Amino acid sequence: MPVKGRIVVDDVFCKGCELCASVCPQKVIQMAPERITAKGYHPAELFKDGCTGCAVCAVICPEAAITVYREAPRARVAAEA
């Protein structure tokens, strides 16, 4: 089973430049069509399943607006618990 991840985009910083969507290997990021930020941009969002938490979007994000989470491997969860 592929690794599961998710991203959280901070609308305060996101300017909807679409660079994250252009590099996402899974193509699961879009600019939210029906939502705008305080600055008037359509922010990035996950729009379907498939994020692996690879963090390539965060590597190219010029605003450091993306926080990336990834499901921990089971062994590590057990070890930490």
Partner 1 sequence: MATLQANEQVVYQRPRALTEVNTHYCPGCTHGVAHRLVAEVLDEMGLQDRTVGVACVGCSVFAYNYFDIDWVQAPHGRAPAVATGVKRSLPHDSIVFTYQGDGDLASIGTAEIIHAAARGENITVIYINNANYGMTGGQMAPTTLPGQKTTSSQTGRDVELQGYPIRAAELLANLDGASYVVRRSLHDPKNIRMAKKAIQTAFETQVRGLGFSLVELLSICPTNWGMTPVESLGWLNDHMIPYYPIGDFKVISALQKETCASKAEG
Kindly list the residues in this chain that would bind partner 1 in the complex (CB under 8 A): 5, 8, 10, 12-13, 15-19, 22-23, 39, 41, 53, 55-56, 58-72, 76-77
Which residue's structure tokens are 């996101």?
A: 14
Instruction: Give the Cα separation of 43 and 71 in Å (integer).
Output: 24
Q: Least distance from C-beta 67 to partner 1, angstroms?
A: 5
Minimum CB distance to partner 1 smaller for 34 or for 72: 72
Cβ neighbours, 10 Å, residue 16: 19
Minimum CB distance to partner 1 smaller for 1 or for 64: 64
Tokens representing 8 are: 């959280």
